[in-house]
Amino acid sequence: MAFIPKRVIFEKDALQYPLGEKLWIYFRDLGVETSFATSHNRITSIPGKTPAEGYFEGKRTMVVGVRRTLRFETCKPSAHFQLPLTTSCPGKCEYCYLLTNLGKKTYLRVYVNVEEILAVARDYIEKRKPEVTVFEGAATSDPLAVEPYTGQLGRTIEFFGSQEYARFRFVTKFTNVDSLLDVPHHGHTRFRFSVNTRQIIDQFEHATPSLTERLVAAQKVATAGFPLGFIIAPIIAEKGWQDSYRELFQTLSAGFGHVPGLTFEFITHRFTKRAKANILEVFPGTRLNLDEEARTFKFGQFGYGKYVYPDELLKEIRAEFKTMSKEYFPGAEVKYFV
């Protein structure tokens, strides 16, 4: 499922970098609508008279900019630091946490100064040696979706392949992995695919590949020798959830039960008050359960509150997933359950 932007907006300074110039020529010659802005953080030209129109137009907009904030954020529990290659994603998942972080106009940003970003990563690695430093490449994005245009993941995987004291990991729902399969990774990059039940993917994960397509891509990645993982997120505990997720584990086991070093990460559904407001504006007919009364309110690591499942239900979900993961993947490592 290829992402083709409707419009591409260039920060003027981006054209001073080889990737920025390359993208400018490519999209101009392709006939895609192009324009300029002074900053990738302030884009006001995306159309949309309503929140929903602005959201969907934003999802069809790619902004090419220079990443100037080169202090990396922490990234618990999946890694030590975020590696900011891109921001946002062309997927239109109704539950997405970016509806809290980025608001309604979640336009895609790609950063052309990848060598500067990797140089900063090298500094972080050097400071923490001989400890191994882990970087997360998809904390606020899905970088694989724009890889055909940028080549940034390939360059990043190659970079980390040469770093003895660092590892790179990212998660994706997309499937255009072929250009990455021959990159010399030396086992230092872990691909993780975000998966869910077929019902949840069909109902809530719009403009993303199907479960079957994701698993085909995961097979390619495993065959290429990359460390592999799956994130099951968000776990949505609605009627019949136990049977639906057992079916998912059975499907995964049929294709990946033999894969060594497999990892899992489990994330239960949660939402913020801001996300709920945005979801209801963008997806007014959503069937996502956003009942605050049925949830427990707690503060997250970034200081804002969110609504999570009550403790008793969380214990039940945790126990069920622990049982299924041990049954179907006794040799796999569960990295975390949140």
DSSP state of 294: G
Spatial separation of the C-alpha atoms in residues 318 and 268, rounded to whole Å? 9
Spatial separation of the C-alpha atoms in residues 128 and 5, rounded to whole Å? 39
Task: Give the count of beta carbons closer than 10 Å to the beta carbon of residue 308.
Answer: 18
Length of the chain: 338
pLDDT along the chain (338 residues), means of 10: 90 97 97 94 88 93 96 92 96 89 82 98 98 96 96 98 98 98 98 98 97 98 98 97 98 96 97 92 95 92 83 98 98 96
* Contact predicate 180/146, CB 8 Å: no
For Cα atoms 156, 161, 165, give the angle at the middle one, nearest 5 degrees.
105
Domains of the chain, by residue range, sit at: 7-337
Check residue 301 and give its pLDDT. Answer: 61
Task: Give the count of beta carbons closer than 10 Å to the beta carbon of residue 104.
Answer: 18
For domain 7-337, which architecture applies? Alpha-Beta Horseshoe (3.80)
Tell me the whole-structure pTM to 2 decimals.
0.95
Check residue 102 and give its pLDDT. Answer: 79
Task: Determine how β-strand 79-82 pairs with β-strand 166-172.
Answer: unpaired
Check residue 2 and give its pLDDT. Answer: 78
**Cis peptide upstream of residue 148 (ω within 30 degrees of 0):** no
* Contact predicate 39/11, CB 8 Å: yes
Check residue 51 and give its pLDDT. Answer: 87
* Contact predicate 109/86, CB 8 Å: yes
